Structure 1
Amino acid sequence: MPSGAGTGACTSNFFSMTVYSRSGEEGRTIVRSIIDKYIQNRFFNKLLLLYSAIIIVTVGILIYIIVTNITGLLREQAITYNEQVLQLVGDHFHNQNKRLKKMMTDLYIKNGFDKTDTIYDAFEALSAGGTAPNSPPSTMSDQRERAAYINRYMLDTALPNDPDILEMVMTNRAFDYEISTTRYTSGIKLGNYFEDIRQFLRNKDSSRINSRKTYFLPAFTASNNGNSVNLYGIYDYIRTPDNPADYSGYMILTYDTDSFQRAYEPYRKYFIGTLLVMTPEGDVIYDSSGRYYKEPFPYWDQVQNPSSSVVIDSKRSIVNVNKDDQYGFITVGIIPINELNKGVTFINRMVLLAAFGCILIIIVLTVLSTNRFSNRLKDVLHMIKDIQKGNLSAKTVKGPNDEVGLIAQNLNLMSQRLDEYIKREFVLELRRKDSELKQKTAELYALQSQINPHFLYNTLEAIRMKALSSRDTETGRMIKILAKLFRSSIKDEMIVTVQEEMNYCQSLLELYYIRFQGRLDVVFDVDGDILEFAVFRHMLQPIIENSIAHGIDLSKENNVITIQGRKVGGFIVIAVSDNGQGIDPQRLAAITGQLKQPRTYGSGHIGLQNVESRIKLIFGDNCGIGIRSEKGKGTEVIVTILAKSKEELRDDVQGSDRG
C-alpha cells in the first residue's frame, strides 16, 4: 500500500479518537455541572434523591418478599389442591369397587324367587338353559320368574347403591347369555359397546381370578344418540361356591367418565394440570385432559417414581401419585410447571405494576411537596437577606402553622420587635432603671417584713414573762403558743415534714382550745409512717381555720376537730373533719367549682383556693383538695398529695422555680 494512503488513514483515526475524547470530556463536564447545579448545592434535591432511593430499595425488598411468598404459596396451594382432588377421586373409585364387592356377596346370600335358592342359583339355572345342579326341574314360567327376580334385584337393590352406575351386566362365561339393566331408558344401550367388553375379557388371563379383589375395564368409547362418550368399567368373576378358583360368569358395572368430574367438582376451578386414574398395568381408566384414552399411558415409567421435576409431554411437571392398596388402582396428578407459573406470573405482574404506580405516586407527591417546601424556605431566606441589609420592615408571606410557618412568624415578630427596640431604646432604658429601683424597694420591704416578726416575737416574749411574773399562767401560755406560731412563720424554709406541720397544727388548735375554754376537742389520728414525708409550710392552717370558723358551735360542748393521715399507694391523704352543721349542697357545689378555677396566689392570700393552687403547683394536677359534707353531720376536707421526701420535694420546687 502506498505510504501516502497509510498516513491519511492514521491521521483520520487520530482525528476521530480526538473528537471522541473531547466529546467524552464535554459529556462528563456537563454531567458534573448538572450535579453541582441541581444536586450538590441543593439540599432538597439531595433529600429527594435519598428518599427516592430509600423508597425504591424498600419497595424492591417488599416486592421480592411478596413475590417469593406468593410464588411459594400458590405452588403449595396447587399441590395441596391436587392432592385433595387425588384423594377425592381415589375415594370415589374405591367406593365403586367396594359396592361391586357388596353386590357380589349378595349373589350368594340373597334368596331367589322361590325363597329357597340364591340369586347365584337362579343365574346358574338361567345361564345353563334349565335348572341349576341339584335343583328340581323348572318350567318356563319359573325361568321367567327367575329372570324377573334377578332383574328386579339389579334395578331395585344394586343400582340404587351406586347412583353413578350407567349399566349393570351379569353374563355367563361363554358370553352367550347375559342379563343387564340400566337406569336410563333412552341412554346408552348394551349392544353399543358390549362386543368390545367381550373381546377384552376373552383376551384377559383368567387363570388367577383371585389375584385381585376387583378388575377394571380401561376407558372405551360408546355411542349415545349419535354422540360418542367415554366409559369405563369394573368387573369381577362370578365364582362357583364349591371351587372359588373356578368361575361361571362375570358381573360388570359400567360408568360414564363424567362421574369422576362430579367427584371433585367443588375443587375443579382450583385444579391445575391433568388427573389420571389407571389400572395397575398402566391402562387409562380416566383422563381429565382426554389425551391418553385408548392406549397405554406413555409415561408410565415416570409416574412409578414421582418427583417434583418430571418431563411429561416435553413439559417439566410435578407428579403426585396415590395407589389404592386394597384394589390396586392408581390416581396420578400431573402439574406442568409452566401452568403453575401462569397464575404466579399474572399476580407478580400485578404486584409489580401496583408497586411501580405507588413508587411513581410517592415520588411525584414528594417532588411537589419538596418544591412547595423549598419555595417557602426561599421566602424566608429572602427576608433574612433583607434584614441583613437593614430593612426591618420586611415580611414573609403567611402560610401554614408548621415549622417553616413558625420560623416565618418568629422572623416577622423578631424584625418587628427589633424595630420597636431601636425606636424605643431610651424609653426601655428608663424602664430598666425604674425596674431596678422597684426591685431594691421590694428587697427593702422584704427585709423589713422579716425584721417586724422578730420584733413582734421578742415583744410577745417580754409580755409573756410579765404575765408569768403576775401569775397569770393561762395568758402566759397563750402568749407562748402565739410566739411559737410566729417563730414558725418567720422561718425561711418553705418545705417541712408532716411531723413539723402536725406540730404547728397542734399548737394552733391548742390556742383555740384555750380560747374556747375547753368547748373544743381535738383528735389526731396520723400514721407514724407518713411523718417523714414532706409538705409545704402551713398547708393545713387555712383548712383548720375554716373548720373552726364554720364547723364549731360555741353553744355546744361536744365540738370535735379530727385530723387523720394515711399513706395510700404513692399518695399521702390528710383529712380534716368537724362535727358541725355541714354545708348546703348548693353552697358545696359553688365551693367545689371555685376550687377548680385557676387562680394565681400570693403571700397575702389565704383560704382553700390558695391551698388548692399551691398543691397543684407543687405536686401536680392529680393532687388537690376534696370536700365531703352532709347537712347536720359535719364537713370533711380531704387533702391528697404525692408521697415525697423533703429532699425530693425541695428539688422539685427548686427545679420549677428555675423553669
Structure 2
Amino acid sequence: MLRQIMQRTITGRFFNKLFLTYSLIIVTTVVILISFITDNIATTLKRQAISFNQQVLVSLDSYYQQKITNMKVFLRNIINDEEFYSSIAQFLEISSDDDQAKYMSLFTAVQSKLTTSIVSLDNDITNVYLYRNDQSPALVPIYKRIQNYPYNIDESYMKDLVQTTMFFPPIHSSMTKYPQSTYEYTTYDFIRDPDDVSRILGVLVIDYDCRKLVNSFSRFREYIKGNILILTESGEVVFDDSERYYKKNYPHTDVILGSQSNTIYLKNEILNINRNSRYGFISVGEIPFRDLYQDIGVINRKIYTITAISLLMILLLTFISNARFSKRVRDIVRSIRKIRNGIFEIPPPPSNTKDEIGIISMNVFEMSQRIKSHIEKEYVYDLRRKETELKQKEAELYALQSQVNPHFLYNTLEVIRMKALTYKQNEVSTMIRILSDLFRSSIKEQMVVRLRDELNYCKIYLELFTIRYGDRLEAIFDISEAVLPLGTIKHLLQPVVENSLIHGIQLDWDSDRVNRIGIRGYLEDEFLILEVADNGPGIPEDKLQEMRKDLDDPYLTKQQIGLFNVNRRIKLIYGNDYSLQIASKPGNGTTVKLKLKPLTLEELEAHVQSDARG
C-alpha cells in the first residue's frame, strides 16, 4: 500500500520529487541555522547577564566604598576641629554619675555638632551612635531617624569589636536585639585619645538604610538576574538584595575565598565577584541558570514560533507554486499526447505567462497549428491534384468524343476546299482553309504555347468572322513586345474572344454600326495582363454580379465551357492569386481581364509538369 502511494505521489511525479527535496533542504538548513542561533543567543545572554551583573557590582562597590570614605572624611573633620574633638574625648571619658550637668552639656554639644556635620550631609544615614569604652551608658544614640525606635547595636558586640580592633563589621541584622527592625548596614571608625593614639576612647558608629544600596543599581534592575550581595572577607553577609542570607552564613563563602577568578560557574548558578582590597569587602552577584534559561526559553519559543510559521508559509507557497507549475507541465504533456495521437485541436496557453513554461506551451501550441496547417494544405493540394487529373481525363475524353477521327475530318475539309476552288468559290475556299488551320492547331497535343502563337490563333479565328461580316467587324491588337515570348495555356484567350463575338457585340443586327474587339497584352506589377474589350451594349448589373459569383464556383460542368472554364483553368495552373475578371457598364461595352503569372514557355511547362507530378 505504501509502495503504491509512493509510486503514485513521488516516483512518477518530477515536481513532487523537487518539492520534497527542496523541503528537506529548507528544513535541514533552518534546523541547523536555528540551532546555531539559539546557541549563540544562549551564549550572548550569559555574557550579557554577567556584564550587567558586573556593572551592578561595580556600581554597588563604588557606592559602598563612598560611604566608608565618607565615614573617614567625617572623622577627619572631627579631628581637625580640635575644640570639638576635645569635647568628644571628654564626653567619651566622663561618667554620667560623676557630674550629671557636665555630662548633659557635653552630650548636647556633641549631638548638635555631629548632627550638623554628618547627618545633614548624607540623607542615607539612619542612626549615629557613640560607643563609650568602659563607661556607662556604653552606647549613646546621637541621632535616630525614627524616634522612640529601639537601636540595634549589641553592646557586648561593640566591646569585643574594640578589643579585637576589627576594621569592618557585619550588618546589624546579624547582631540585632530586635527582629522587627529594618535591615541596615554599618560603618564605623575608632576615636582615639588625642594625647595617646594607641588608646581607643570609643567608636563612632553610623547606620545606613540597606534600601539605599539597592537604589545605587536601580537603573540596571530590569537587566539583573539573580541576587546581589556584599560580604566581609570572612564571609559574613553585609547586604543581601534578596534578604535570604541575613543572619546566616553564605553557603559559597569557601568557593569565593578559595578562588581568584572573577566568574565562578557552579552547578546551578554563576557567581560574579568584585573584590575591594582597600576596605576588605566582596561584592557578589548570583546568576541562577534557571533565570537565564527562562529568558533563553522565552526567546527560543519566539524564534521557534516565528520559524515554524515562516517555514510553513515557505513550504505552502512552494507547494502552491509547485502545484501550479506541475499543472502547466501536465497540460503540455496532454497536448503532446494529443498531437502524437493525431489530434491537433489543443487550447492555446494563457497570454499572460511569459516564463519558460509559458514559452514551451506556446511553442507546442504553435507547432500543433503548423502541423495542422501543413496537413490541411497537403490534403487540399492532394484534392486539387486529383481534381486536376480528373478534369484532364474528362477533357481528354471529351476531346476524343469531339474529334471523331480528326484526320478524317481534316482530309474531308481539304476535298471540299478543292471543290470550291474548281467552281471559283474563292471566299468559301478561304474560309475552309482557315477552319482547317484552326482544326489543325486544335488537335495538337500541346498544353502550353507561346503567347505569340495563341494570338495568331485568335487572329485566324477572327479572320473567319471578318470574311463573314466585312467592315462591320473591326479587330484591334495592342500587344507589348515584351510579352510575346512568354508562355500561356493553349486556347486560353480564344474562348474569351469567342464569348465577346457571340455575347458582347451585335453582329447580327442590320446596321452600319462598326463592332470593335480590342485585344491587349502587357505587364503590370508582377502580372501578365491579357484584355479582351468590346463596344457592345454591356451586361446588366444583376447579371454581372451573378456571373462574378459563378466565377468563384470551383466546380465545372459540361455546360460551363466559356469564361468559367477559362477561369478554372487559370486557377488550376497558376493558383488562386490569378483569375479572370469581368468589368462592364450598360451601354459602354464589356472588358474581360486575365491576370496570369509572367512565365517563359519553359518555366510554364516545368510548372505544369510539377503540378501534374504532385
Instruction: Name the TM tier (shorter chain).
Output: 0.5 to 0.7
Letter in 2 for 1:279: T
Of 89, 107, 125 in structure 2, the residue corresponding to residue 124 of structure 1 is 89
Aligned pair 1:374/2:326, yes or no?
yes
Q: Aligned match of 2:251 in 295, 298, 310?
A: 298
> How far does the alpha carbon of each residue in 1:266-325 deviate from its partner, in whole angstroms, 9 at most, with x for none?
1112111221111222111111121111133233212213466655xxx52211222211
1:108-150 per-residue CA deviation (whole Å, 9 max, x = no partner) reads: 112xxxxxx522211122334489xxxxxx995x866654443
Question: Which of residues 90, 110, 128 in structure 2 aligns to 1:150?
Answer: 110
Matched ranges for 1:26-65 at <5 A: 30-65=1-36
Structure 1 vs Structure 2 CA RMSD: 3.1
2:51 matches 1:80:
yes
Deviations 1:607-656 (A, max 9, x none): xxxxxxxxxxxxxxxxxxxxxxxxxxxxxxxxxxxxxxxxxxxxxxxxxx
Gaps of 5+ in 1: 1-29, 111-116, 132-137, 429-659
The aligned residue for residue 160 of structure 2 is 203
Change (3 A) 1:188 1:52: farther
Q: Is the 8 A contact 1:81 1:271 kept in 2?
A: yes
Offset, 1:241: 2.1
Identify if the C-alpha distance between structure 1 residues 413 and 76 changes in structure 2 by more than 3 Å, giving closer, same or farther.
same
Amino acid at match of 1:342: Q
Which of 103, 127, 130 is the aligned partner of 1:167? 127
Equivalent residues in 2 for 1:367-516, closer than 5 Å: 367-398=319-350, 400-401=352-353, 402-424=355-377
Structure 1 residues 139 and 41, CA gap change in structure 2 (3 angstroms): closer
One-letter amino acid matched to 2:255: Q
Q: Which residue of 2 aligns with 1:103?
A: 74
In 2: Cα distance, 1:175 partner to 1:418 partner? 127
Map residues 324-335 of structure 1 onto 2, 5 A cutoff: 324-335=276-287
Instruction: Give the aligned residue type for 1:381.
Output: V
The separation in 2 between residues aligned to 1:265 and 1:327, in whole angstroms, is: 24
Q: Structure 1-normalised TM-score?
A: 0.52
Distance 1:397 1:188 in 2: 97
Q: Match of 2:218?
A: 265
Offset of residue 425 of structure 1: 6.3
* 1:339 aligned onto 2:288: no
Shift of 1:410: 2.7
Q: Which residue of 94, 105, 108 maps to 2:65?
A: 94
Q: Match for 2:309: what amino acid?
A: G
Separation in structure 2 between the aligned mates of residue 363 and residue 159 of structure 1, nearest angstrom: 71
Match of 1:229 among 145, 165, 182: 182
Distance of 1:230 and 1:301 partners within structure 2: 25
Residue aligning to 1:575? none
Structure 2 CA distance, aligned partners of 1:121 and 1:60? 78
Structure 1 residues 162 and 240: CA distance shift in structure 2, 3 A: same
Matched, 1:318 2:270: yes
Quickly say closer, same or farther: Cα 1:221–1:418, change in 2 above 3 A. Answer: farther
Give me the whole-angstrom Cα distance separating, in 2, the residues matched to 1:260 and 1:253.
15
**Higher relative CO (CA 8 A, sep ≥ 6), structure 1 or 2?**
2
Partner Cα separation in structure 1 for residue 46 and residue 251 of structure 2: 26
CA deviation after TM superposition for structure 1 residue 404, in Å: 2.0
User: Alpha carbons of 1:410 and 1:310: their partners in 2 closer, same or farther (altered >3 Å)?
Assistant: closer
1:81 and 1:270 in contact (8 A); partners too: yes
Residues 1:353 and 2:313 aligned together: no
Tell whether the 8 Å contact from 1:221 to 1:231 is kept in structure 2 after alignment.
no
Match of 1:193 among 146, 152, 157: 152
Cα gap change, 1:408 to 1:310, in 2 (>3 Å): closer
* Cα distance change of structure 1 residues 191 and 183 upon mapping to structure 2, 3 Å threshold: closer
Q: Secondary structure of the equivalent of 1:348?
A: helix
Quote the Cα distance in structure 2 between the aligned partners of 1:41 and 1:73: 48
Conserved? CA contact 1:219–1:293, under 8 Å: yes
After superposition, the Cα gap between the structure-2 partners of 1:222 and 1:206, relative to the gap in structure 1 and judged at 3 Å, is closer
For this pair of structures, how many residues does the alignment match?
376
Q: Is the 8 A contact 1:108 1:118 kept in 2?
A: no
Rounded Cα–Cα distance in structure 1 between residues aligned with 2:49 and 2:135 = 47
Confirm or deny: 8 A CA contact 2:49 2:225 kept in the other structure.
yes
**Equivalence for 2:503:** none
Q: AA paired with 1:260?
A: L
* Residue in 2 that maps onto 1:573: none
Structure 2: distance between partners of 1:288 and 1:223:
22
Question: Which of 272, 278, 281 lines up with 2:234 in the alignment?
Answer: 281
CA drift at 1:166: 0.9
Once residues 237 and 62 of structure 2 are traced to their aligned partners in structure 1, the CA distance between those partners, rounded to angstroms, is 17
Deviations 1:437-482 (A, max 9, x none): xxxxxxxxxxxxxxxxxxxxxxxxxxxxxxxxxxxxxxxxxxxxxx
Q: Per-residue displacement from partner, 1:382-417 (whole Å, max 9, x unpaired)?
A: 112222222223214526413222322233233333
Q: What is the CA-CA distance between 1:165 and the residue it aligns to?
A: 1.1
Shift of 1:348: 1.8
